[in-house]
Amino acid sequence: QANPREKQLITLTGKLETEVELKASAGKFHHMYAGRPHHVSKASPGNIQGCDLHEGDWGKVGSIVFWNYVHDGEAKVAKERIEAVDPAKNLITFRVIEGDLMKEYKSFLLTIQVTPKEGGTGSIVHWHLEYEKISDEVAHPETLLQFCVEVSKEIDEHLLAEE
């Protein structure tokens, strides 16, 4: 018989993933998060109110960024540390270190990877959320995944309008 504590640990950690098809190139979309996340609020003003650099440089590992966003109809904040950046793979990983998500999650990692679409223009953004809930009562962050999808589509439209 499994140890009940072990079972609990298994249910508290989770992963959610989604993909969004984009018309913009992989490099351009990646650059929005790596090079100029402070522009994300221009692309998706209803969801993201702002992004400020608190420490380090945009798109550099170890840098700290601070987001103001609206999720589930509520104004929220997140302080995130950039854990990984791979420009060749158009990949960036953020670890949430402070803010509203920390009320419900012990750890929260967001990885955004964009790959060029095969045999055509555009790209596919892959969102990967990895987290550990503080208790069983906390819901899996499915609404946050939907939020990521909406923001992706708005950034895509913004990037196309810039061309």
Nearest-angstrom CA–CA distance, 71 and 147: 7
Residue % of the chain over a pLDDT of 70: 94
Residue 22, strand partner residues? 123
Model pLDDT for residues 46-58, shown as the tens digit of each residue: 999 999 999 999 9
* Domain-located, residue 7: no
Under DSSP, the state recorded for 19 is E
* Domain-located, residue 6: no
How do 64-71 and 91-99 pair as beta strands?
unpaired
* CATH number where 143 lies: 3.30.530.20
* Domain-located, residue 5: no
Model pLDDT for residues 77-88, shown as the tens digit of each residue: 999 999 999 999
Backbone angles phi, psi at 53, to 5 degrees: -90, 120
Nearest-angstrom CA–CA distance, 21 and 25: 10
- Taking 60 as the threshold, does the pLDDT of residue 156 lie above it? yes
Distances (CA, A) of 146 to 29, 50, 131, 162: 18, 19, 16, 25
Residue 85, strand partner residues? 92
Number of folded domains that form the chain: 1
Residue 68, strand partner residues? 50, 77
pTM to 2 decimal places = 0.91
> DSSP 3-state assignment of 124?
strand
* Domain-located, residue 69: yes
Confidence of residue 162 (pLDDT cuts 50, 70, 90): confident
Model pLDDT for residues 8-45, shown as the tens digit of each residue: 545 799 999 999 999 999 999 999 999 999 899 999 99
Give the pLDDT mean for 90-117: 97
* Domain-located, residue 49: yes
Q: Which domain holds residue 66?
A: 13-162
* Domain-located, residue 39: yes
Distances (CA, A) of 46 to 49, 74, 75, 127, 161: 7, 11, 11, 20, 18
Sign, CA torsion 99/105/107/113:
negative
